[in-house]
């Protein structure tokens, strides 16, 4: 990383990509006039250097609008609420207003909203997770619009990330489940397509199962985040002849719905079935029994993301924060498997 200049110029990009500065310019302003191989090389250099085009010019004219945009997958539940509130408070402390849009977990809407926020003069964007339309990533690079990704961590990602290792966190929880003796384990997950957080959590469970020699036969139900959806998935899982003794849920909303449904089915948690969550939302301690879950430092993440984004906006820096630590919260919804 020592070869990355702090304020990379068009010349730095041209040098790294082995092209002329005119070609770099063309790539950024009229990409369809450049052959793809060259364009890819230039955009890789842009990304690697964290180059922000026109930053000087932009800063001169621009006056900033002191507005930051955030695009979150959903406003319909509390998943992003606490982190976003902390993000907003820190941004405000630093002199920025926040406008929030929601993409309904759809890449096309995320891109549409990012473009709209850019058109309305947003100085920077907060995005969630690593997967998005390539055209959006290119748009951000070409516009030189600072953006930070939160709720996930990727050292090699195109955009700076402020988050945690979803895979390792779920693996840690799954290891605790296996340590208690569970062998028939199932997962209720959000749809993993276009959701790197959901996929990483599922992979973390598979990692733990594989390491324990239980690599096959994991039953996974994918469903939208929601209490009713979590409940319906639990009902399906418990119908079979050999139902799971532990159900790991992709987040606390699914897990809370599963616990409510277990009660409706006359199942005791954790005596008949253990249920775990992920996130440590407020509702984790509202349900009975309280949820064993992975604590995500939502407020710390929100504040750090705001500081990183403002740093990018004001100083043209590419911040490289370390991943945040998560913690297991062992509560009453996880116990040993029933003795058969």
For a copy of itself, the binding residues (CB under 8 A) are 65, 67, 69, 74-78, 81-82, 84-85, 88, 97-102, 112-113, 116-117, 120-121, 227, 256, 260, 282-283, 285-288
User: In angstroms, rounded to a whole number, what is the distance separating the alpha carbons of residues 115 and 74?
Assistant: 18
Report d(CA 338, CA 214) in Å as an integer. 19
d(CA 276, CA 259): 9
For residue 28, which of 56, 8, 52 has the smallest C-alpha distance?
52
Give the residue with the Cβ less far from a copy of itself, 10 or 101.
Answer: 101
Distances (CA, A) of 150 to 19, 43, 146, 161, 232: 33, 22, 13, 6, 30
Torsion, Cα 324 328 333 335, to 10 degrees, reads 150
Contact (Cβ atoms closer than 8 angstroms) between residue 223 and residue 258: no
* Chain-centre distance for alpha carbon 144: 22
Q: How far is the CB of 150 from a copy of itself (least distance, A)?
A: 15
* Least distance between a copy of itself and beta carbon 200 (Å): 25
Using the minimum distance from each CB to a copy of itself, give the nearer residue, 5 or 95. Answer: 95
The strand ranges marked E within 137-214 are: 147-150, 161-162, 185-189
* Contacts of 190 by beta carbon, 8 Å cutoff, 6+ apart: 197, 198, 222, 223, 224, 225, 250, 251, 254
Nearest approach, Cβ of residue 69 and a copy of itself (Å) = 8
Provide the minimum distance between the beta carbon of 125 and a copy of itself in the complex, in angstroms, as a whole number.
12
- Among residues 15 and 260, whose Cβ is nearest to a copy of itself? 260
Residue whose CB is less far from a copy of itself, 200 or 283? 283
Handedness of CA 222, 299, 324, 304 (dihedral sign): positive
Tokens for 315, please give them: 């100083």
- 101 vs 220, beta carbon nearer a copy of itself: 101
Q: How far is the CB of 142 from a copy of itself (least distance, A)?
A: 21
Given the complex with a copy of itself, which of 76 and 330 has the nearer CB atom?
Answer: 76
In the complex, what is the shortest distance from the CB of residue 332 to a copy of itself, in angstroms, rounded to a whole number?
12
21 and 9 Cβ atoms separated by less than 8 Å: no
Closest to a copy of itself by CB, 183 or 260 = 260
CB of 89 to a copy of itself, least distance (A): 8
Separation of first and last alpha carbons in the chain: 56
- To the nearest whole angstrom, how small is the minimum distance from the Cβ of residue 103 to a copy of itself? 10
Nearer to a copy of itself by C-beta: 117 or 150? 117
CB closer to a copy of itself out of 85 and 142? 85
What is the closest distance, in whole angstroms, from the C-beta atom of residue 273 to a copy of itself in the complex?
Answer: 17
Query: What is the rounded CA–CA span in Å between residue 171 and residue 194?
Result: 21
Rounded to 10°, the helix 134-143/107-119 angle is 20
């Amino acid at each position: 990383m020592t070869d990355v200049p702090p304020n990379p110029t068009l010349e730095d990009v041209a040098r790294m990509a082995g092209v002329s500065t005119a070609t770099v310019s063309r790539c950024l302003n009229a990409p369809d006039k450049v052959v793809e191989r060259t364009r890819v090389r230039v955009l890789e250099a842009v990304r690697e250097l964290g180059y922000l085009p026109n930053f000087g010019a932009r800063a001169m004219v621009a006056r900033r609008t002191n507005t930051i945009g955030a695009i979150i997958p959903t406003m319909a539940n509390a998943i992003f609420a606490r982190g976003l509130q902390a993000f907003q408070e820190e941004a405000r402390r630093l002199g920025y207003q926040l406008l929030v849009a929601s993409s309904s977990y759809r890449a096309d809407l995320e891109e549409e909203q990012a473009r709209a926020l850019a058109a309305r003069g947003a100085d920077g964007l907060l995005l969630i997770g690593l997967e998005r339309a390539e055209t959006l990533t290119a748009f951000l690079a070409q516009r030189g619009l600072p953006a930070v990704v939160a709720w996930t961590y990727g050292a090699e990602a195109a955009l700076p990330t402020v988050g945690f290792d979803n895979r390792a966190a779920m693996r840690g929880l799954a290891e605790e489940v296996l340590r208690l003796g569970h062998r028939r384990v199932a997962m209720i997950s959000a749809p993993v397509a276009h959701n790197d957080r959901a996929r990483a959590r599922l992979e973390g469970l598979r990692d733990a199962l594989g390491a324990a020699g239980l690599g096959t036969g994991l039953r996974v139900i994918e469903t939208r985040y929601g209490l009713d959806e979590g409940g319906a998935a639990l009902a399906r899982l418990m119908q079979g002849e050999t139902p799971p003794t532990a159900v790991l849920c992709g987040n606390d909303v699914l897990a809370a719905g599963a616990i409510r449904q277990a009660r409706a089915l006359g199942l005791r948690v954790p005596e008949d079935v253990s249920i775990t969550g992920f996130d440590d939302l407020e509702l984790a301690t509202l349900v009975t029994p309280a949820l064993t879950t992975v604590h995500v430092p939502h407020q710390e993440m929100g504040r750090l993301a705001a500081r990183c984004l403002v740093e990018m906006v004001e100083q043209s820096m590419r911040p490289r924060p370390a991943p945040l630590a998560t913690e297991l919260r062992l509560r009453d919804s996880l116990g040993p498997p029933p003795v058969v």
